[in-house]
């Protein structure tokens, strides 16, 4: 390596690096999280075209006109008042927006809402009920698998899919299969324990 | 974000027609994990999206014949868990399984992934307007050269661009001499996956050799016994869900303890998926030892031209190749 003393021609700040979402300078622990606010503030919307989609959300058939640019995440949160799925990075890097489309986990922030026309969407709101929680929801409570809770809906939706995929057969495998969901509080030990526990109760551990 | 129109045709012909009719600003979208991301960053600014993900028949996977055929719209997740791919082509399953997260692998397609754009942070810093990038704005300059270049290429870069080709799947495909079937306004053609990619040269904004209106309808891998003795070895800043610092796709045919034919390709270090032919030549016909494997790894980086912060990848990359060779050789044929 031949580091010289000249400053780089175009110095990057940490903030720029994070916004760019590249692993280059953003240390080695977490994938960098882009700032949703920064990108939306700097990219004003023009009035756009709409497209009408027919979909089933949490078992309920819905027909709705959406902006062709809208993400599934924004439609769920802003139009359908389903605020369980969270906007963390808005670039598919953090997993807070994880929902199921036709039974498979996806990043709702990188899914064009137009794409779920004719498909079924399940969010955390459709997973269980307050009186009858899904085993994964109960396991997250039992294992203290959260601190602030912001990432939890995405963690739980990813975790349910992880079990159904057959990826919850060991701690190692769970950790790998859950790597798309970041918890900045660092509740990972509890999350892995909760998934192991729930997997057994779901009959697929 | 710029306003867009959106259509989702059911056939390739309808998509090609829709693309032509949309004119300027038309783009195909498949899984959208790259394109929509870059639209949010203001770097991709399509006016018309033609969604090719619902084209009938393009999600099929056929691993039964002399050629493995993956429909261009098959998801990375589905191909990664195909039984034949898992058992007979571990480098393919590993390249897919070590890419992105399960959420993204459920969305992204094996055709679209070949066209993933670079993660160069200066390229992705489009909306700020602070940093020039010849890929984003031809002729504006390259801020990565002399800048924070830890993630930039050591192989294949030019004075205009050092951006790394980010994919894993294309690297494994190049090692196996895979090809793509492409359908466009002028009909159907096939070409090696390696020929999809352009070296940056003076025109880094021209990344792929697809012509306007062309769709990748299938990825085809010639069946080979070398698939079993193979691996995709990927070293990153963390063990899962990160882009490669250095990776190697290796497939071996052995005669006892001697390497008859090696296929070696590199990821994370070059401007295109990088076939390391000089390294292959060094190990072909040689008795397999860790020492020889490491010499092979060093041969793969003989032409490396590091920048300020990425010279560590020469040693790292050589070790990654050596480890990959030993892992592949250790697998039952």
- Helix A188-201 and helix A152-164, axial crossing angle in degrees, nearest 10: 40
Tell which residue, B300, B243, B274, B266, has the closest CA to residue B116: B243
Q: Is there a contact between B150 and A158 if contact means CB atoms under 8 Å apart?
A: no
List residues bridging with A104 in a β-sheet. Answer: A101
Which among A6, A110, A115 is the nearest to B37, CB-wise?
A110
A43 neighbourhood in chain B, CB within 8 Å: 1, 40-42, 127
Residue B148 near chain A (CB below 8 Å): yes
Question: Is B255 within the bounds of a domain?
Answer: yes
List the domain range (segments joined by +) for residue B283.
234-329
Cα–Cα dist B7/A19, whole Å = 30
Give residue A31's pLDDT band: very low, low, confident or very high (50, 70, 90).
very low
DSSP assignment, residue B165?
P
Q: Confirm if B184 and B17 have CB atoms less than 8 A apart.
A: no
Question: Is B249 within the bounds of a domain?
Answer: yes
Size of interface A-B (CB pairs under 8 A): 179
Question: Is B238 within the bounds of a domain?
Answer: yes
A204 phi and psi, to 5 degrees? -135, 20
Q: Quick one: pLDDT at residue A43?
A: 52
Cα–Cα dist B295/B293, whole Å = 5
Question: Is B38 within the bounds of a domain?
Answer: yes
Q: Confirm if B113 and B267 have CB atoms less than 8 A apart.
A: no
Selected for mutation to probe chain B from A115, A119, A151, A170 (highest B CB count within 10 Å) is A115
How much is the ipTM here? 0.96
Question: Is B113 within the bounds of a domain?
Answer: no
- Beta-carbon contacts of A149 under 8 Å, excluding residues fewer than 6 positions away, are none
A25 neighbourhood in chain B, CB within 8 Å: 121, 148, 150
A161 phi and psi, to 5 degrees? -65, -40
Q: Is there a contact between B238 and A28 if contact means CB atoms under 8 Å apart?
A: yes
How close, in Å, is residue B55 to chain A by CA atoms? 13
Residue of A nearest to B100 (CA): A180
- Helix A188-201 and helix A135-142, axial crossing angle in degrees, nearest 10: 140
Q: Is there a contact between A23 and B237 if contact means CB atoms under 8 Å apart?
A: yes
Q: What average pLDDT does the structure give for chain A?
A: 85
Give residue A1's pLDDT band: very low, low, confident or very high (50, 70, 90).
very low
Across A139-155, average pLDDT: 98
Q: pLDDT per position in chain B (333 positions), as tens? A: 889 999 999 999 999 999 999 999 999 999 999 999 999 999 999 999 999 999 999 999 999 999 999 999 999 999 999 999 999 999 999 999 999 999 999 999 999 999 999 999 999 998 777 899 999 999 999 999 999 999 999 999 999 999 999 999 999 999 999 999 999 999 999 999 999 999 999 999 999 999 999 999 999 999 999 999 999 999 999 999 999 999 999 999 999 999 999 999 999 999 999 999 999 999 999 999 999 999 999 999 999 999 999 999 999 999 999 999 999 999 988
pLDDT in tens, A32-66: 434 433 444 445 566 789 999 999 999 999 999 99
Tally Cβ neighbours within 10 Å of residue B60: 14
Q: How far is CA A80 from the centre of its chain?
A: 18
Number of domains chain B contains: 2
Give the number of C-alpha atoms closer than 13 A to the C-alpha of residue B176, restricted to the C-beta side. 33
Question: Is B108 within the bounds of a domain?
Answer: no
Q: Quick one: pLDDT at residue B333?
A: 81
Residue B151 near chain A (CB below 8 Å): yes
Give residue A205's pLDDT band: very low, low, confident or very high (50, 70, 90).
low
Residue of B nearest to A50 (CA): B5
CATH number of the domain encompassing residue B16: 3.30.43.10
Which among B5, B143, B243 is the nearest to A9, CB-wise?
B143
Question: Is B251 within the bounds of a domain?
Answer: yes
Q: Is there a contact between B40 and A111 if contact means CB atoms under 8 Å apart?
A: no
Q: Confirm if B110 and B31 have CB atoms less than 8 A apart.
A: no
Q: Is there a contact between A19 and B128 if contact means CB atoms under 8 Å apart?
A: yes
Chain A contacts in chain B segment 55-84 (CB below 8 A): 77
Q: Quick one: pLDDT at residue B34?
A: 97
Torsion of CA B94, A169, A110, B86, to 10 degrees: 30
Selected for mutation to probe chain A from B10, B52, B102, B129 (highest A CB count within 10 Å) is B102
Which among A20, A28, A98 is the nearest to B121, CB-wise?
A20
> What residue spans of chain A are helical by DSSP H?
14-20, 36-42, 72-74, 135-142, 152-164, 171-177, 188-201
Q: Confirm if A121 and A179 have CB atoms less than 8 A apart.
A: no
A105 neighbourhood in chain B, CB within 8 Å: 102-103, 106
Helices (H) and strands (E) in chain A, counts: 7, 5
Residue of B nearest to A42 (CA): B127
Question: Is B281 within the bounds of a domain?
Answer: yes
CATH number of the domain encompassing residue B302: 3.30.390.50
pLDDT in tens, A119-132: 999 999 999 999 99
Which among B8, B124, B239 is the nearest to A20, CB-wise?
B124
Q: Name the fold adopted by A50-126.
A: Ubiquitin-like (UB roll) (3.10.20)
**Pair of tokens at residue B97:** 């399984």
* pLDDT over threshold 60, residue A30: no
Residue A29, class by beta-carbon neighbours within 10 Å (0-12 exposed, 13-18 middle, 19+ buried)?
Answer: exposed
Across A163-173, average pLDDT: 97
How close, in Å, is residue A28 to chain B by CA atoms? 5
* CATH number corresponding to A135-201: 1.10.150.120
Q: Confirm if A88 and A96 have CB atoms less than 8 A apart.
A: yes
Residue of B nearest to A114 (CA): B6
Domain ranges of chain A: 12-44, 50-126, 135-201
């Amino acid at each position: 390596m031949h580091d010289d003393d000249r400053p780089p021609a175009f110095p990057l700040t940490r903030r720029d690096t994070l916004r760019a979402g590249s692993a280059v300078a953003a240390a080695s622990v977490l994938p960098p999280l882009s700032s949703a606010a920064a990108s939306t503030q700097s990219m004003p919307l023009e009035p756009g075209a709409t497209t009408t989609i027919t979909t089933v959300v949490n078992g309920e058939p819905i027909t709705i006109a959406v902006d062709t640019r809208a993400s599934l995440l924004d439609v769920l949160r802003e139009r359908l008042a389903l605020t369980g799925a969270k906007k963390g990075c808005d670039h598919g890097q953090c997993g807070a927006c994880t929902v199921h489309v036709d039974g498979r986990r996806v990043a709702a922030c990188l899914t064009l809402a137009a794409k779920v026309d004719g498909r079924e969407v399940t969010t955390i709101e459709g997973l269980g009920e307050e009186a009858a929680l899904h085993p994964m929801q109960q396991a997250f409570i039992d294992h203290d698998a959260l601190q602030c809770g912001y990432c939890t809906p995405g963690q739980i939706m990813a975790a349910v899919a992880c079990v159904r995929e057959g990826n919850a057969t060991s701690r190692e495998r769970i950790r790998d299969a859950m790597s798309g969901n970041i918890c900045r509080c660092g509740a990972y030990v509890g999350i892995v324990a909760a998934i192991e526990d729930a997997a057994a109760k779901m009959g697929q551990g | 974000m710029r306003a867009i129109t959106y259509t989702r045709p059911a056939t390739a012909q309808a998509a090609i027609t829709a693309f032509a009719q949309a004119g300027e600003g038309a783009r195909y979208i498949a899984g959208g994990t790259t394109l929509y991301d870059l639209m949010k960053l203001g770097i991709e600014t399509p006016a018309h999206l033609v969604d090719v993900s619902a084209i009938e028949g393009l999600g099929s996977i056929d691993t039964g014949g002399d050629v493995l055929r993956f429909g261009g719209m098959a998801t990375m997740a589905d191909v990664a868990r195909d039984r034949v791919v898992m058992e007979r082509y571990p480098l393919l399953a590993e390249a897919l399984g070590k890419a992105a997260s399960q959420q993204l692998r459920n969305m992204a397609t094996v055709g679209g992934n070949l066209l993933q754009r670079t993660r160069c942070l200066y390229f992705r810093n489009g909306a700020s307007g602070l940093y020039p990038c010849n890929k984003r704005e031809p002729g504006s300059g390259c801020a990565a050269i002399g800048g924070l270049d830890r993630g930039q290429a050591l192989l294949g870069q030019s004075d205009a661009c050092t951006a790394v080709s980010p994919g894993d799947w294309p690297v494994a495909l190049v090692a196996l001499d895979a090809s793509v079937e492409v359908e466009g306004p002028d009909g159907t053609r096939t070409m090696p996956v390696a020929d999809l990619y352009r070296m940056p040269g003076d025109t880094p904004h021209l990344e792929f050799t697809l012509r306007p209106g062309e769709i990748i309808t299938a990825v085809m891998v010639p069946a080979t016994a070398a698939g079993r003795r193979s691996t995709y070895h990927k070293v990153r800043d963390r063990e899962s869900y990160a882009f490669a610092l250095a990776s190697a796709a290796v497939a071996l045919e052995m005669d006892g303890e001697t390497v008859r034919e090696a296929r070696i390709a590199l990821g994370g270090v070059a401007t295109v998926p990088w076939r390391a032919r000089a390294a292959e030549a060094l190990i072909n016909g040689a008795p397999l030892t860790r020492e020889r494997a490491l010499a092979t790894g060093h041969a793969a980086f003989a032409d490396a031209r590091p920048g300020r912060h990425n010279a560590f990848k020469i040693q790292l990359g050589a070790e990654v190749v050596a480890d990959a060779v030993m892992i592949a050789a250790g697998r039952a044929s």
